[in-house]
Amino acid sequence: MPISLLTDERLVVLRTAGSAYAFCWNQLTTPLRHLHWGAPVTDDDVRSLIAVDQLTRRSTSTATVPRAFLEEYPFAGGLRREEVTVKLEMPDGVRALDLTVRDVAMTDPDRVLVTLVDSYYPVRVELRYRIDESADAIVRSASITNTGSEPLHVDQAFSASWPVPARPDPTLLTLTGMYGAESRVTRNPLAPGRFTMESRSGIPGHDALPFVAIDTAATEQAGEVWSVALAWSGSWKIITQLGDDGALHIVGGVNDFDLRHPLAPGAVLELPEMTGIHTTDGLTGMTSRWHRFQRTSVVPQPRRLRPVHYNSWEVAFFDVSFEAQLELAKSVAELGVELFAIDDGWFAGRTNDAAGLGDWSPDPVKFPAGMRPLADAVHEWGMQFGLWVEPEMVNEDSELFRAHPDWIYQWPNRPRTYGRNQLMLDFSRTEVQDWAIEMLDGLVRDNDLDYFKWDMNRPLSEPNSSSVAAGGSVWIEHVRGLYRVWDALRELHPELWIESCASGGGRADLGALQRTHWAWPSDNTDPLERLEIQRGFSMINLPMTMASWVTDSAHQLGRRDTPLRFRFHVSMCGLLAIGGRVPDWSDADRALATELIALYKDIRPLVQFGQLFRLDSPAPGLTSALSYVAENRDRAVIFVFAHAVMHTGQQQLIRLRGLDPNAGYRLTHTGTGAVSEFSGSLLQGHGVFVPLAGHYDSAVLLVDRL
């Protein structure tokens, strides 16, 4: 049984394929006591755990009581000094909770609902647990309800607390970065104290993906790892707290910075899902569980092949026109591109970033006959067609702003602040959401669109809205408004592709990936830097959500010149797209692009639906290798990259993973055409030599079961 709910013993055990999670409500010193997260356990194991109760540990008069790692949902009140999940202010100013268990019930074979109520004040907290068995995932969320007749304030409301068993020398793995260098793998020893990761910008932001993992010297192949990630596309916070005695817990959710969320009588605050995954087979095991989780519980239409697309941004910036876009579209249709998209610059008045946002109709000078002739031509050439939009934004120089100057977030008596010359529309208001849904629906219908790239290019500031009076904080209600618009759009147009972008990789959390088909991980398309960004991004996100353009060399950010084949191979590790000035490419480059796009289409089911392995490099830092293996292990593709090659590194012995050791495989080097045959056992136990001829050389090898 995946879930044991033993009501008499007040005990819950949640089981996945390879792990278990347990808590009880026996009222020893905490209403809801955490018992275990990790290896599989029996009900008897858990009974024994309770019998040798860790809560009997003695504490000093200065200690936090009860310890957070023993609580399932530690709340502010009493002697708790460690990081808690929830803090409310009652109508009379009391800022302490005293929650007790009202009920614990299974609401489905894979779900448990815990209802807590305050002993005095009219507050109900619901904790929800769901298991995703095959991904070894525990999905948690919570809600807070004001059941009284007077308003409350929510000062802090995290989705979950995740106690991690004490282990020697825990390591923290995060996916951190900045604009142009997002989601890079960072690993550091965790020191006693609190370690905070967060965003205060109204979007998940560029500093980090809302995710942390804890391990003790895990390698790719081995080691125990606990990891958590948040599904929230706004400001977030994850705090990891380690005590000197090794006690460790992680809390996370919507950022409490400036929250002051009012909770009107009867109102419910729904908190975002936070998922925890425990694995014992190293970082590769962690990645494959998150990928499985994304396939079963996150990405929309996970079995729908994502198209090879084209994006005009780096070629045109704001200088788009019907003729130039038509020329681009024709040139990329000939290469085998399947979706053509115009980025920024196509709409009324948009000659630079100071005007136009809000006026979402084709610019009459750039597209005198509207967008339809281009859409029709693109469709005729066998491609899908799409547009860039940034619906949450407005420029003062726009018809929309002139008509609705009150639709932005702003404080009274304070100047407006601008980011990229733009202001932010108040998506917490229903009328603004309705405008967006109608406008976007109209754009799709009028122009026969198959795709939107949804961008967001400034942080949220002046979080003040008339909707707040109606019962919510802008930090929360903006995201809810955005979700409503995304959900409505997808319901109106189920086949419409949506890409999530925020100045590169600023909005690529599980909440965004639940509602969009892929994300733009970074504006940095230099292939060498991209390898690092993609490595971190795909640690938890499916390669099918990771768009990657092949752009012209040398790249505008890094000024590094790299071969076209290398750039293609890097982009083929995710969602292949082109962003270069193809009409100017030589015949040889166009021929190579046509060949590599065809190759990508051949291996696309592996990259988009297969299992990713980060292969050991014989020369770490100088070379790297990845493979994608089909679920039935009949086929795989290997990518090998030379970041820089020393004389000693020209033959790379690459060991494969994930194959059937008892099967024979044919290995085809797609560049040289060389073919050889090996057993799966040899490919994994010994490895195979892949020649690399110098800086930025790369190789793609196909592995087919004989």
| Nearest distance from C-beta of residue 179 to ligand DGJ, angstroms | 9
Residue given tokens 């779900």 in the structure block: 111
Distance CA(12)–CA(10), nearest Å, equals 7
- 472 is a site residue for ligand DGJ (CB under 6 A): no
Q: How far is the CB of 306 from ligand DGJ (least distance, A)?
A: 17
User: How many Å separate Cα 519 from the centre of its chain?
Assistant: 8
Q: Whose CA is closest to 207, among 507, 424, 427?
A: 507
Active site residue 132: no
457 lies in the binding site for ligand DGJ (CB under 6 A): yes
By CB under 6 A, how many residues form the interface with ligand DGJ?
A: 11
Our finding on whether 526 is near ligand DGJ (CB under 6 A) is no
- 21 CB-near residues (< 8 Å, 6+ apart): 13, 14, 15, 36, 37, 129, 138, 276, 278
> 25 or 520, CB closer to ligand DGJ?
520
Tell me the C-alpha distance between 38 and 36, whole Å: 6
**Long-range pairs for 436-439: beta carbons < 8 A, 24 or more residues apart:** 436/391, 436/392, 436/485, 437/485, 437/488, 437/489, 437/492, 439/360, 439/391
C-beta separation of 480 from 486 below 8 A = no
Judged by CB under 6 A, which of 384, 503, 538, 617 binds ligand DGJ?
503
**If binding is defined by CB under 6 A, does position 344 make contact with ligand DGJ?**
yes
- Residue 456 or 474: the one with the smaller Cβ distance to ligand DGJ is 456
Subset of residues 542 to 601 that bind ligand DGJ, contact rule: CB under 6 A: none
Least separation in angstroms between CB 454 and ligand DGJ: 10
Identified catalytic residue from 455, 509, 526, 697: 455
Strands of the 309-311 sheet, one edge to the other: 518-519, 497-500, 451-454, 384-389, 339-342, 309-311, 575-578, 547-550
- For 383, the token pair is 């491609």
Q: Which range binds ligand DGJ by CB under 6 A, 166-174, 273-281, 332-340, 501-509?
A: 501-509
Q: Which of 313, 435, 609, 641 binds ligand DGJ (CB under 6 A)?
A: 313
Please give the C-alpha separations between residue 532 and each of 25, 251, 469, 526, 624, in angstroms, as whole numbers: 45, 28, 45, 10, 10
Binding segment for ligand DGJ (CB under 6 A), chosen from 123-131, 207-215, 496-504, 631-639, is 496-504
Residues 357-396 that bind ligand DGJ (CB under 6 A): 388
Select the residue interacting with ligand DGJ from 523, 526, 529, 532 (CB under 6 A): 523
Active site residue 256: no
Which residue lies nearer to ligand DGJ by CB, 422 or 624?
Answer: 422
- Taking the least distance from each CB to ligand DGJ, the nearer of 118 and 526 is 526
**Residue from 223, 234, 504, 511 in contact with ligand DGJ (CB under 6 A):** 504
SS (HEC) of 304-315:
CCCCCEEECHHH
Task: Say if residue 509 is exposed, middle or buried (CB neighbours under 10 Å; 0-12, 13-18, 19+).
Answer: buried
Contacts of 134 (CB under 8 A, 6+ apart): 16, 17, 292, 296
Instruction: Decide whether 503 or 617 has the Cβ nearer to ligand DGJ.
Output: 503
Encoded one letter per residue, x for contact with ligand DGJ by CB under 6 A and - for no contact, window 272-311 reads: ----------------------------------------
Q: Report the catalytic residues.
A: 455, 523
Positions in the binding site for ligand DGJ (CB under 6 A): 313, 343-344, 388, 455, 457, 501, 503-504, 520, 523
